[in-house]
Amino acid sequence: MVNDDKPIKLKGQQLLLWVRMKYEIIPDDRDGYGPWRVTTRGYVYEVQSASGEAVMSWHWHPTSKMRDPHIHAGHTQLADDAVLSRKHHTPTGRVSLESVVRFCLEDLQADHLRNDWDKVLALREGLFKLHRSWH
């Protein structure tokens, strides 16, 4: 659970970010790593309206019927006659939490809490990419 399973207000916007991530701590006997590492087992990252309605959601729940990573457009973004619905599973690759945070800061223009956010986020994203076990 992230933030006690409560959405995080995106400062400067009338939007929220809700994060749920499943992970496991596993042994890692690779040279220069370990002895342990964290591996992601599933996630839901969701940008919500101020009232808690989904705007966009990134999902990966590999033990369910829909095992591949995908996004959902929230019904707040869809017209009544839209081709897509919130029930569609639009395929994506695996999505890191860091990339969703970057999306919130850059594309949604949420206020940052520190001036060096880009440097810190780039470092975290770089480490994530370096050590991930999938590509």
**How high is the pLDDT of residue 109?**
92
Give the DSSP H or E segment for 40.
strand 36-49
User: Tens digit of pLDDT for each residue in 25-43?
Assistant: 999 888 888 899 888 899 9
Asked if residues 33 and 23 have their Cβ atoms less than 8 Å apart, the reply is no
Residue in this structure with the two tokens 């991530």, named with its chain if needed: 21
Share of the chain above pLDDT 70, in %: 99
Rg over CA atoms, the chain: 16
**How high is the pLDDT of residue 32?**
81
**How high is the pLDDT of residue 55?**
93
User: Tens digit of pLDDT for each residue in 70-88?
Assistant: 999 888 888 777 787 777 8
Residue 89 has pLDDT above 70, yes or no: yes
